[in-house]
Amino acid sequence: MPYFIDTHTHLFSEQFKNDIDAVITNAVAQNVKKMILPNIDSASLKNMWDLCEKYPQNCFPTVGLHPCHVKADFEKELQIITDFLKEKEKNPLKICAIGEMGTDLHWDKTFWEQQKIAFKYQVQLAKNHNLPIIIHCRESVKETLEMLSELQDGTLKGVFHCFNGSLDTAKSIMELGGFMMGIGGVATYKKSGLDEVLPHIPAEYLILETDSPYLSPVPHRGKRNESSYIPLIAQKLAEFQGVSTEKMQEITTQNAEKLFGI
Question: Measured from the CB atom, is 220 or 247 closer to Zn ion?
Answer: 220
Q: Quickly list H helices, the chain.
A: 20-29, 42-54, 74-87, 112-129, 141-151, 167-176, 230-241, 245-260
**Of 12-20, 72-80, 94-102, 222-230: span binding Zn ion (CB under 5 A):** 94-102
Question: Measured from the CB atom, is 7 or 241 closer to Zn ion?
Answer: 7
Q: Minimal CB distance to Zn ion: which residue? A: 100
**Of 80-88, 93-101, 119-127, 239-247: span binding Zn ion (CB under 5 A):** 93-101
Question: Measured from the CB atom, is 41 or 100 closer to Zn ion?
Answer: 100
Within 10 angstroms of residue 162's Cβ, the number of other Cβ atoms is 22
Q: What are phi and psi of 227, to 5 degrees?
A: -60, -25
Question: Measured from the CB atom, is 189 or 247 closer to Zn ion?
Answer: 189
Closest Cα to residue 259, out of 159, 166, 191?
Answer: 159
Contact of 37 with 11, CB cutoff 8 Å: yes
Instruction: Please give the single-letter amino acid code of residue 52.
Output: C
CB of residue 236 to Zn ion, shortest distance in Å: 20
Buried b (16+ CB within 10 A) or exposed e, 83-102: ebbeeeeeeeeebbbbbbbb
CB of residue 161 to Zn ion, shortest distance in Å: 6
Q: Which of residues 97-156 bind Zn ion (CB under 5 A)?
A: 100
Strands 133-138 and 98-104 turn out to be parallel
**Of 92-100, 166-174, 183-191, 232-240: span binding Zn ion (CB under 5 A):** 92-100
Question: Measured from the CB atom, is 44 or 241 closer to Zn ion?
Answer: 44
| List of residues 6+ apart from 121 with CB closer than 8 A | 78
Strands 133-138 and 59-61 turn out to be unpaired
CB of residue 153 to Zn ion, shortest distance in Å: 26
The footprint of Zn ion on this chain (CB under 5 A) covers a number of residues equal to 1
**Of 95-103, 117-125, 178-186, 240-248: span binding Zn ion (CB under 5 A):** 95-103
CB of residue 246 to Zn ion, shortest distance in Å: 27
Strand-pair partners of 207: 182
CB of residue 162 to Zn ion, shortest distance in Å: 7
Question: Measured from the CB atom, is 41 or 236 closer to Zn ion?
Answer: 41
Question: Measured from the CB atom, is 9 or 228 closer to Zn ion?
Answer: 9
The site for Zn ion (CB under 5 A) is made up of: 100
